[in-house]
A and B are shown apart, each in its own frame.
Chain A
Amino acid sequence: MSLLEVENLSLHIGALHALRGVSFSLDAGECRALVGESGCGKSLTAMSLLGLTPPGAVFHADAFTLAGEVLPAQGSPAWRRHRGADIAMIFQNPMTALNPTQTVGAQLAESFVLHRNLGRREAMTAAVALLERLAIPQPAQRAAQYPFEFSGGMLQRVMIAMAVACRPKLLIADEPTTALDVTVQAEVLTLLAELQREQGTALLFITHDLGVVAEIADSVTVMYAGESVESGSVAQIFNRTAHPYSAALRAAVPSLKQDRRPEGIVGSPPDLRREVTGCAFAPRCRQRMAICEDTVPEFQCGEGQRVRCWRWHPDHPLRWREAENG
């Protein structure tokens, strides 16, 4: 059984049907990347795993369990037991997650006091040891400095170390490296992979950078318009891309090695305040068939890969998979 099971997650925020069927699972020690177009619901999926969906939002899921235990209702005080201890999160901008008026050392120490039951003095020693582990020179002096005195990459390394130091079962990272330059990004990813491997933490990694996915993920879930449309191992997603949206996403990635002009995806995603009939991607899909326009495709299991697309429906003929236009 998987550590985390999410099946058919749905979320209404007023008239907006923001999440319309998100499914994935995660094993201990596995890293799953969550990718998809801006606004497709990646961050909302992450927030629901912390019990932090917007107030008044209507939540439903067929399965929503961590280590076999059903997670509490959204907004319930019972989440306090899970947050930080079982499930921790790293945000895109470390500056906003830290208190600008408190030293970095004090904030690190506080999280140790809270989650590892250390005394004040021990917690400060642990905080300094952690900075040292991150190759931050003069850790004792650094601990006495404020967040603005650290560079972006250094802060993000501190945030990751802080989240992992509490030994959560599940770590969620929402675009943790988009604000960083490539060298710092590589450093941060290396650290994340190292700590994750050491502690067997499951990692849900939200990103729009497929280069980062190739580097860090074991498995990938692609989302489109509030639903998961393809799930599989990283090799399947890269070498045997099934869903037309995943394929379009890959074609949009610019490469450093080739002089290929990246292709955009023409059109825009559907308005989720109205009901979606048929496949949500159909209006932009180059492989659309008549059935796609009026009947919703299910999230089916194929050869180890789940795909929400009529062309990949297991009952349907192989020739459907080849595009008419070659």
Chain B
Amino acid sequence: MAERLVSMRGLSCHFPAAEAGVKLAAVDAVDLDIYAGEILGLVGESGSGKSTLGRMLAGLQQPSAGTLRFHGESDAGRARISSVQMVFQDSYASLNPRRRIIDSLMEPLGVARVSTRDKLSKAAKWLERVGLSRDAGERFPHELSGGQRQRVGIARAFIAEPRLVVCDEAVSALDVSVQAQIINLLQDIQRDSGTAIVFIAHDLAVVRSLADRTAVMYLGEIVELGSSAQVFSRPLHPYTRNLLAAHPEAELNSQGRHRRKVAPAQERRLPLSNDSGCRYAPRCSLAKPFCLRTPPALAVSEAGSEVACHRLREIEQYLASRAAKAHDDESSIL
């Protein structure tokens, strides 16, 4: 595999909670490596800690425990400023309303070293790259549509050639046609420049079409991690399986309707530092008494992905027997 770019070990970010002595474990003891030039998808329910993890990577949030190491950099804190960039859902909020687009674009190139002429030509090149006209550079943020502004946000993140870009819901507010343009753009940029991308999104299909590997988070922890093909076509963790079943597919069934299988509405929980056992156990249909007592660690599945579930082996056996049965049924028809 490619060279490691970032290593997280036991990385945590805890916030004060309502109860004294207890912390809100927004991100709890995450071990994760990011490789140079890969696109890593990050999915999971609202409040599972995806943005907090992304913000720690970009140096916008201080970890409360654990290590975050950037390989090949002696002083991680300093180097990170130029080597990690972030794209947010709302690029309007991250652009200065009183600056022309071209000026906002040149900003990440810094003050020293590069001449203004070089910066201008670089900014113009990136405008073109993201499909905007030169004239768009002369405008102010409010004079662009949402999709155009998002492209500016992306150009701005990549212009200084960072080694890692964190995209947090960067395409969620855009309609599908603009979304598709931006996904293709990200793939092209990543292929040409070899920048690694951490792509956080609610839309599972978008993540599948873009990410090489995908990590699934649940209440502050990674519960499944593997190649996107593996995670999306043969999900193993009960939470991942539940999440994928809830995805609205844009097609109709034979009754002319698409209906998702969803569990009835449930109260959401917060991850707390004094939780015991598996955090998914209260909602899990496969939970056993020991699940409520002992937290499961990530274990390697037969297919090579990593899954944090005590009942991983049984789930794998069940899926294998179901596949064999389907195969038998097929051959009995033949």
- A151 near B46: Cβ-Cβ < 8 Å: yes
Using known A-B contacts A178-B173, A238-B252, A256-B205, determine if residue A214 contacts B243 with beta carbons closer than 8 Å. no
Give the residues in chain A near B205, CB-CB below 8 Å.
Answer: 211, 253-256
Are A181 and B202 CB-contacts (below 8 A) given A186-B248, A213-B250, A238-B251?
Answer: yes
How far is it, in angstroms, between the C-alpha of A178 and the C-alpha of B90 when the chains are bound?
13
> Which residues in window 240-298 of B have CB below 8 A to A?
242-244, 246-252, 256-260, 262-268
Stretch at the interface among A32-40, A73-81, A302-310, A313-321: A32-40
- Contact indicator B175/A37 (Cβ below 8 Å): yes
Interface contact B184-A249, CB-CB below 8 Å: no
Residue B174 CB within 8 A of the other chain: yes
The docked-state distance in angstroms from the alpha carbon of A90 to that of B323 is: 44
Interface residues on B, range: 35 or more
Contact B264 A135 (CB under 8 A): yes
* Shortest beta-carbon distance from B20 to chain A in Å: 19
Set of chain A residues within 8 Å of B244, measured between Cβ atoms: 256
B265 → chain A closest CB, angstroms = 4
Known: A153-B46, A180-B46, A254-B209. A38 touches B248 (CB 8 A): no
Tell me if A263 counts as interface (CB < 8 A to partner B). yes
B258 and A183 within 8 A (CB): no
CB-contact partner of A249 in B46, B176, B242, B247, under 8 A: B176
Tell me if B162 counts as interface (CB < 8 A to partner A): no
Contacts of A238 in B (CB 8 A): 250-252
A234 within 8 A of B: yes
Quick one: given A39-B146, A183-B243, A184-B46, are A250 and B173 in contact (CB under 8 Å)? no
Q: Which residue of B lies closest to A256 (CB)?
A: B205
Count of residues in A whose CB is under 8 Å from the partner chain: 51
Most central of A36, A191, A260, A262 by chain B CB within 10 Å? A262
A-side contacts of B182, CB under 8 Å: 264
Chain B residues, CB < 8 A from A191: 265
Task: For chain B, residues 182 to 224, give those with C-beta under 8 angstroms from any C-beta of chain A.
Answer: 182-184, 187, 202-206, 208-209
Interface contact A261-B252, CB-CB below 8 Å:
no
B180 lies within 8 A of chain A by Cβ: yes
Complex Cα spacing A209 to B257, Å: 15
The residue that A253 contacts in the complex, of B202, B208, B250, B256, with Cβ under 8 A, is B250
Known: A211-B247, A215-B248, A252-B177. A183 touches B45 (CB 8 A): yes
B10 an interface residue at 8 Å Cβ cutoff?
A: no
Question: Which A residues touch B180, using CB under 8 A?
Answer: 252, 254, 262-265
A84 vs B178: C-alpha distance when bound (angstroms) = 34
Q: Contact check: which of A137, A182, A208, A211 meets B243 at CB < 8 Å?
A: A182
The answer to whether B204 touches A214 (Cβ under 8 A) is no
Interfacial chain B residues near A184, Cβ < 8 Å: 45-46
A-B contact pairs, 27 of them (CB 8 A): A37-B175, A37-B177, A37-B178, A39-B145, A39-B147, A178-B172, A181-B45, A186-B262, A208-B175, A209-B250, A210-B176, A211-B247, A214-B249, A214-B250, A214-B257, A215-B258, A235-B252, A248-B177, A250-B250, A252-B179, A252-B180, A254-B176, A254-B179, A255-B205, A256-B247, A264-B184, A265-B181
Q: Which B positions have Cβ atoms within 8 angstroms of A? A: 44-47, 145-147, 172-184, 187, 202-206, 208-209, 229, 232, 242-244, 246-252, 256-260, 262-268
**Besides A178-B172, A259-B229, 19 new A-B residue pairs in contact (Cβ under 8 A), listed by A number:** A37-B177, A38-B146, A153-B46, A183-B45, A187-B265, A190-B262, A211-B247, A211-B248, A212-B248, A234-B256, A252-B179, A253-B176, A254-B176, A254-B209, A256-B244, A261-B184, A263-B180, A265-B177, A265-B181
9 nearest A-B residue pairs (beta carbon): A211-B248, A264-B181, A210-B250, A208-B175, A264-B180, A254-B205, A214-B258, A262-B180, A186-B262
